[in-house]
Structure 1
C-alpha cells in the first residue's frame, strides 16, 4: 500500500511538472555569444535606445528608475562596490584579490548578480575596467574635475538593467520546463512579429508578470550559489513568508507598476506615490509644564507620539 502511494505521488509530481512547462514559449539553449571585451561592447549589447522608437513612454518611465542606472545607483551603489572590494575581497584570505588587477567577473558577481547580471557575458578585463572607471569617477569628484565626472558617470550609467535584461536574458526562470530565451525574441504580453533588426519576434514568458520574476534579484536573502554568498535583498522572501502566507494576493508588479501609476518607473522609498501606498503615519503631540526642582522652577516639555503602520507586502526598508 505504501509503495502504491509513493508511486502515485511520483506520477502526480511528474504530471504537475509537465503541466507547468506546457505553456512555455522558450526554446533550446542557444549558443553563447562571444564574451564582451570592453564596457562599451557590453553596454551596446544591452542598449535600450532602439526600444525608444516604438515605446517612448515606457522608455521615459524606465529612464527615471534606478534600473536605468543599476551600477551607479543613487549614486550609492558604485561606491558600495568599491567598499565591497576594499573591506571584503582584499581582506578575505582566500579570495585571490590583493589588488584591483586581481579582480575577475566571478568576484564582481557578488554585486553584479542583481545589479548587472549580463556581466557573465564579459571577460575579466571588463570587470577590472568597471572598477577602474568607478575609482576614476570618485577621484574626479575629489579633484573637482566635473567634466571628467560627467564623462565617467555616463560610462557607468551605460551599464544597467535595460529592456532586454528583463524581456530576454532573465525572461525564463524554469528553463528546463519552459525553455530558454531565444536570441531573436522579445518576451512580454504579446506574440507575433516584432519590428526590430535583432529581436524580430515577440512571445510570452510565463513568469514575467509574477512576483517570482522580481524575486530573481529582489530575493530571498544570501546568494548561496556564489563562492562567497552576500546577504542583500530579502524582499521576495518577506513577500512570500509574511504577506502571501497571511493571505496577501497582489504581486510586485500590481503595486509598483499598476496601482502606483508609475509603470516602468519602478520606485520604492524615494517616491511619494509609493510612500503613500506603503505606510500610514500618525503623529500626536502635546505640551505641558513640568515642575523639575526648586532651582529650575517650572519647565515646559513636549511629548510626541509617532505611529507607523506598514501596508506594503514586505518589510520596509529593503531592496
Structure 2
C-alpha cells in the first residue's frame, strides 16, 4: 500500500511538473521586459508604465513633432477614431452571437484587440478592468458630446488621448520583432540608431535597433491584412502588404521612414492623407475637361466631358493605412 501511494504521488508530481512546464512561457529574457510586469489595473497605471515624458528634456523637437501626429492620440484620433471604437463594439462584438458581449459592460481586452493590436498594443499588458474603463470613458464622452457638456467632453478626451503610441512603444516595447533570435526588449533600454549609455534614471542604456529604420518596424501595425491570429479576424490596414508585394517587386527601394519622416521633413509627425505635403507626393493628377453647350440651353442641359488621370507615386496602395 505504501509503495502504491508513493507511486501515485510520484506520478502526480510528474504530471504537475509536466503541466507547469507546458504552461510556462517560452523565451529567454521575456521576464526582463516592460510587458512582463504584473498587468495594469487602470488607465492611469498603464499610462504610467509607458510614460515617456522623461524623453522630452533631450528630445524636445521629436516630441513636439510627435505631438502633432495621430500616434499621439491613437485611441481618440480626431474624434472619429473614438467614435469608431464605439461602432465596432455596438455593430461588431455586441452583434456577434458567440462573442459573449451583450452590452458594453461585457467588453474585455480580447474584444478590443481587433483595434488595439495596433491602436494601443500595450493594452495586452492590462487587465479587463482597463478595457472596461476605456469603454466607460468612450460612452461617457459620447454622452457628454450629445448633451453639449464641453467641459466634461474635453476632460474625457484628455483621458482617451493619454492612451497613445508614444516613444516607449516604438523605441522599447515594439522595437524588436524577432525576439528569439535578437532577444527581448529590455525594460532599462531604449532602441534606436546606436548603442551606449543613456542619460536617464530609468532607461540607462541605448541599443541599436535592427529594424528601427526598416519598413517592418511600421509593418507591425500598418499591416499585411486580416488578423488571423485572433478568434474573430478583422481586415484593416494592408499598406505593408502592398509595399512588399507591389512596390518592392517593381523596383522600389525606399522605406516607410524615408518617405514619411525624412523626405517629407515631418520627422516624428508622421502623416498620410491629412498632410498636404504627403498627399502631393503620393498622387499625381491630370484633369482634362470639355464642355458642350447647345444653342437652346433652356431645355437641354449642357454636357461636360471630364477625363481624370491619377498616378500612384506612393510605395503602397492608395487609400490604405
> Structure 2 length normalisation: TM-score?
0.88
Distance in 2 separating the partners of 1:287 and 1:79: 42
Q: CA offset at residue 27 of structure 1? A: 7.5
Higher relative contact order (CA 8 A, sep 6+): 1
Alpha-carbon separation, structure 2, partners of 1:30 and 1:169: 13
CA shift at 1:288, angstroms? 2.4
**In 1, Cα distance between equivalents of 2:68 and 2:51:** 16
Paired with 1:134 and 1:27, the residues of 2 have a C-alpha distance of 38
Q: Is 2:263 the partner of 1:262?
A: no
* Matches of 2:79 and 2:311, distance apart in 1: 29
| Deviation of the 1:305 alpha carbon | 2.1
Alignment of structure 1 residues 210-229 onto 2, 5 Å: 210-229=214-233
Q: Distance in 2 between matches of 1:300 and 1:205?
A: 61
Answer whether contact 1:38 1:129 (CA < 8 A) is retained.
Answer: yes
**Which runs of 5 or more structure 2 residues have no equivalent in the other structure?**
1-26
CA distance in 2, matches of 1:213, 1:224: 20
Instruction: For 1:161 and 1:120, locate their aligned partners in 2 and report how far apart those are by CA, in whole Å.
Output: 14
Question: Tell me, what secondary structure is at the counterpart of 1:283?
Answer: strand
- Which residue in the other structure is 2:15 paired with? none
Q: How far off its partner does 1:311 sit?
A: 0.3
Residues 27, 182 of structure 1: 8 Å contact kept: no
Cross-structure match for 2:70: 66
The answer to whether the 8 Å contact 1:235/1:315 transfers is yes
* TM-score (norm: length of structure 1): 0.88
* Match for residue 309 of structure 2 among 307, 310, 313: 307
Looking at structure 1, the residues matched to 248 and 51 of structure 2 have their Cα atoms a distance apart, in angstroms, of 36
Q: Secondary structure, in 3 states, of the residue corresponding to 1:245?
A: coil
Instruction: Report what 2:185 is aligned to.
Output: 181
* Structural mapping, 1:1-319, within 5 Å: 28-31=29-32, 32-290=36-294, 296=299, 300-319=302-321
Q: Provide the secondary structure at the position in 1 that maps to 2:284.
A: strand
> Moved runs in structure 1, 4+ residues, more than 4 A?
none
| 1:91 CA drift (Å) | 1.2
Deviations 1:82-138 (A, max 9, x none): 111111111111111112221111111111000000001111000010011011111
Q: RMSD of the alignment, in Å? A: 1.7
Count of residue pairs the alignment pairs up: 292
Deviations 1:225-283 (A, max 9, x none): 11111100000001011101111110100100011101100000010110111011112
How far 1:291 sits from its partner (Å)? 5.9
Q: How far apart are residue 200 of structure 1 and its match?
A: 0.7
